[in-house]
Amino acid sequence: MTITGSAVSDFSTDTDSPVVIIGAGHAGANLAALVRQEGFTGDVILLGDEVHDPYHRPPLSKKFMGDSLEQPLRGQGFYDEMKIDTRFGSRAARILPSERAVETADGSRIEYGTLVIATGSRPRRLNLPGADAEGVMTLRTLDDARTLRSAVQRGGRLVIIGGGYIGLEVAAEARVHDLAVSVLEREERVLARVASHEFSTLLTDHHRVRGTDILTGVDVVGLATDGGAVIGVELADGTSIPCDAVLVGVGAIPNDELAADCGINCADGIVVDENGRTSVPHVFAVGDATRRPVGGDTMRFESIPSAMEQAKRVAACIAGTPLPGAEVPWFWSDQFDLKLKIAGLVHHGVSVCRRGDAGAAKFGIFHLDDHNRLVAVETANAPSFFMAGKKFIASSAVLDPQRIADPDTDLRSCLAG
């Protein structure tokens, strides 16, 4: 991948100069730990907007009603033990690449040898009447999840605008706790941008059987309110859906403003190469804020495994240790009794082979290119399918479609030839 924008003259790092990390989510907090693990001995400074210690994000949508909503990424005292200078509740306001310094909102100035931007993303909001009403929520932070939990505990009906993975995970958790839920999706199917038609259909059926009301091909035009609180969602066809709370899950916007303002090349995300380098010397970026090479494409790939892969490579660059190998992109989702794992890029496939029993909620959907190489696999409650598929994708294996579809054939013997 070629980085465009400001000329790149030097990406060397000093093994004892300060590393400043802006952002204390999965990418930033784990990077701080990995830098130490790789043997870096200089100062490591971790800045985070939130006052909370870094925490696991998956429970925010998957298990927000549980007792273990707040799960720290590291045990108490870890950052002190690793000599990581944590400054939580400190917002970076400006990057000064020519001075190799960061200014924070309180006026502090922090000089760096290497800077890593891990600012993540924020929920896309609706620009519609009533969108700012009480009871209209988004989900990104621990505080957001606590607000959502309170809304579910109050009861009534929750309307989720957006049929992506976050929306479906929240719907499943809410239904498990007997809340009435409607999911509204503008496209003709849920997960239209990220999943196959077959996978979308199976998940939709699984939800509907368990009481989730899913409406597709609908346009939301406004939110009805009473006394400043949301009471309904208005659709373009004149339908009004009464509700007590609304969760907006219509995608995320990368937090790339800091990078763009200091001259770093951005294009709906901070543009980085395979090692997290930006277009400005001594500045890396990782996580949801980035646009990175993935499976031959350049894209934003918002997942914890993706952020961790980037963090490992950047840590190696900073410490001057050998780079880890490239990983197959993957992510997971929990919905009701389904443990979903997906690897590869579905849109690269031209044909599909299904294996397993959708009725028994254990299946895999294998996507092949025009040479019968596996490019993606979508699985439910089938870890062996997922692991085999991931290995096949990594090796660009050519498979026999008939063997894949035959449940009596061991997956390891599905290689063509």
Asked which of 156-170, 273-287, 289-303 is least confident by mean pLDDT, the reply is: 289-303
Amino acid at the residue 408: D
Looking from the CA of 78 toward its CB, the CA atoms found within 13 Å total 14
CB within 8 A of 107, min separation 6: which ones? none
Q: What is the rounded CA–CA span in Å between residue 335 and residue 168?
A: 7
Tens-place pLDDT, residues 140-184:
999 999 999 999 999 999 999 999 999 999 999 999 999 999 999
Residue whose C-alpha is closest to residue 174's, from 137, 226, 134, 211:
211
- Ordered by where they begin, the domains of the chain are 19-122+252-319 (3.50.50.60), 125-248 (3.50.50.60), 337-413 (3.30.390.30)
Q: What is the rounded CA–CA span in Å between residue 194 and residue 133?
A: 30
Check: CB of residue 73 under 8 Å from CB of residue 34. no
Tens-place pLDDT, residues 349-368:
999 999 998 888 899 999 99
DSSP assignment letter at 144: H
Amino acid at the residue 390: K
Which residue's structure tokens are 């963090």? 311
Tell me the CA distances in angstroms from 342 to 245, 388, 389, one per residue in order: 31, 12, 9
Residue whose C-alpha is closest to residue 312's, from 19, 56, 38:
38
Looking from the CA of 269 toward its CB, the CA atoms found within 13 Å total 21
What's the chain's average pLDDT?
Answer: 94
Decide if pLDDT at 247 tops 50.
yes
Which residue intervals of 236-286 are DSSP H helices?
257-261
Chain centre to alpha carbon of residue 158: 23
Specify the long-range contacts of residues 269-272, CB closer than 8 Å, at least 24 apart.
269/300, 270/117, 271/3, 271/4, 271/5, 271/298, 272/3, 272/310
**pTM of the model as a whole:** 0.94
Which of the four pLDDT bands, split at 50, 70 and 90, describes residue 67? confident
Tokens of 28: 């930033």
Residue 171 backbone phi and psi in degrees, to 5: -60, -45
